[in-house]
Amino acid sequence: MLYDRPYMRQAQRPAQNLIKILIVANITVFVLQLVLQGAFPTNLLALWADNFLIKPWTFITYSFLHDTRQALPLHLLFNLLGIYFIGKALENFLNPRQLGTLFFGSVLSGSIVWLAANWGQSGSTLIGASAGVLGLLTYFCMTRPNEPVTFLLFFVIPVTMKPKWLVWGVFALEIYLFLGSELRGVGSVAHSAHLGGMLGAVLFYRFGMGMTLPMPSFLQQRKSFRPVARTQARKPMRNPFPSAVQGRDKDDLQREVDRILDKINEQGFGALTPEEKRTLDDAKDVLRR
């Protein structure tokens, strides 16, 4: 996959800090929920359908709460696994500011769609980071629609498919469950929030690269995105580039790859044109030497 290629790697990956902070924050809040029980301010952090206007912070804070009534914390576990594995796949393409905007933007859009679907329902509440996780998944699938990925279905059965079919399958399932259960008042899963998170990722993919949230200084990327290959290009190489790759000489190819990588750093992978994506694919084998 693209993020495994040597010329896409960077020496430091500050986005890892954000992934770790999200995981630690969710676990910490969950432990506090268990320990403090009724003393934990769940009502102040969860999103309520009938009084959200007086607690606007809950449009985001609801994502740090999870269901504590289950013997096994599956609600929390699935979300943490999604944040870790999908976040790891995205950290080479999105800097911390972009990754944070994608995640919390999906959380926000999930809460808005959920409110639209549950307007005026007294006592209805929303908790969980699933909208943010599905936002990460949707963005991942949109940036690499045709690169086969393998995942464990139910964490047991290995399944390989193209990401575009995965995201369409998840979308169809969420629509079915939203219409068949949530709108009918059956079950407690907020499928509308899931759909809202996916919508937020689509909007971020199309328009959001220039609209990013402010991030603390310890999360900001200190070094600009520079591939290892650029540094290595200044040193003698045992296996120099061939004289041409698809009509390009070695210097022209190197300059074009550097330009595309800078564009990914500034605007995200979704901003690349089909021709630029093909150029990265064509240069893959050459730049690995």
**Residue 53: its pLDDT value, please?**
83
pLDDT tier at 148 (50, 70, 90 boundaries)?
confident
Is residue 216's pLDDT more than 90?
no
**Residue 199: its pLDDT value, please?**
96
**Residue 280: its pLDDT value, please?**
75
Encoded tokens for 274: 């089909």
Is residue 192's pLDDT more than 80?
yes
Torsional class of 246: left (φ above 0), alpha (ψ -120 to 50), beta (otherwise):
left
Beta strands in the chain (DSSP E): 47-48, 125-126, 149-153, 157-161
**Does domain 2-218 fall into CATH 1.20.1540.10?**
yes
pLDDT tier at 28 (50, 70, 90 boundaries)?
very high
pLDDT digits (tens, 9 = 90+) for 120-138: 787 889 999 999 999 999 9
Is residue 32's pLDDT more than 90?
yes
Say if residues 6 and 287 touch (Cβ distance below 8 Å).
yes
**Residue 5: its pLDDT value, please?**
44
Is residue 25's pLDDT more than 80?
yes
Cα distances (Å, whole numbers) of residue 45 to 34, 38, 56, 165? 15, 13, 10, 35
Average pLDDT, the chain: 79
pTM above 0.75, yes or no: no
**Residue 48: its pLDDT value, please?**
92
**Residue 287: its pLDDT value, please?**
53
Mean pLDDT calculated for residue range 71-95: 88
pLDDT tier at 286 (50, 70, 90 boundaries)?
low
pLDDT digits (tens, 9 = 90+) for 222-239: 444 444 444 444 444 344
* Proportion of the chain above pLDDT 70, given as a percent: 74
Q: Give the start-to-end residue ranges of the domains of the chain.
A: 2-218, 227-287
Least confident of 5-9, 87-91, 284-288: 5-9
Least confident of 23-27, 233-237, 278-282, 283-287: 233-237
User: Cβ of 269: how many Cβ atoms within 10 Å?
Assistant: 25
Say if residues 108 and 60 touch (Cβ distance below 8 Å).
yes
User: Cβ of 151: how many Cβ atoms within 10 Å?
Assistant: 13
pLDDT tier at 119 (50, 70, 90 boundaries)?
confident
